[in-house]
Amino acid sequence: MKILTFDIEDWWIYEHYQIGSKLNWLPRLDNYLARILDLLDIREIKATFFVLGEVAKNNPEVVKRIDARGHHIGCHSYSHTFWRNAKPDEVVKDTKIALDVIENCIGRKVNAYRAPAFSITEQNKWILSILAENGIEYDCSIFPATRSYGGFPTYSTKEPAIIEIDGYQIKEFPMAPVTILGHEIVYSGGGYFRLFPYWKIKSLVEKSDYVMTYFHIKDFDKHQKRFYSSFESESALLRYVKNYCGLSGNFGKFSKFIFEFDFISLEQANALIDWRQLPIIRL
């Protein structure tokens, strides 16, 4: 099972962080989205697009273009706040606003969610009950390993399962890290997809029964403005490499990826799973 997902946040992020002129970056983002949608049409693939509420509010045409192609629309929060130290009322407010804006944009209920930076952790797992209470059926927020902005290393599986928490149930589709040189790494999106050679990515996918991808439009934008900082520290250099290296050939790599494997959306995956056979994880 290979699930194709995108986090649609970059239209807001470019503007919010003033990454160059809107006259320059907006056509590039729109162009890459159009190319992706055309590519998926050619392959007859449906994907899940996790939309930021701020994008649905300020750039509704982006969301409507995706929806018009028949793809599954999920929620990526409203404000892209990392939930690591969040309070319940903050999450409730953000979730309700995001769902309202996105649902008004596409005209139907949103049933899937991914937290910014996979920031649902052991300490804030109560967020899952807030999501379920607000009609979210599928969550894709758990990163079952250590991670900078989140991570849930005590979570017990790297495959889909039902989570039971505070009297609610929610279907969890976690990220699926692989162990490479002693480190838990997710290669199926973001910086590692750009950095890993394609032959390695292909090999890992072929060996995996469950693959969860997470692509961002900005990861294909080779003309984006680079932010340089002092490389005196190892962390600064690593951050630069993870943000920018491999951009120039990444869309070609992604295109090859799409043509070599059959992908499905979250909704299609849900329909294929016999949930009665999967474990219930009580948090």
The predicted model scores a pTM of 0.94
- Residue 232: its pLDDT value, please? 53
| CB of 32 closer than 8 Å to CB of 217 | yes
Q: Are the C-beta atoms of 13 and 55 separated by less than 8 Å?
A: no
Q: Which residues contact 221 (CB under 8 A, 6 or more apart)?
A: 10, 25, 28, 29, 32, 247
Domains of the chain: 2-278 (3.20.20.370)
- pLDDT by residue for the chain (283 residues), tens digit each? 999 999 999 999 999 888 889 999 999 999 999 999 999 999 999 999 999 999 999 999 999 999 999 999 999 999 999 998 899 999 999 999 999 999 999 999 999 999 999 999 999 999 999 999 999 999 999 999 887 777 899 998 999 999 999 999 999 999 999 988 888 888 999 889 999 999 999 999 999 999 999 999 999 998 888 776 555 555 667 777 777 788 889 999 999 999 999 999 999 999 999 999 998 999 9
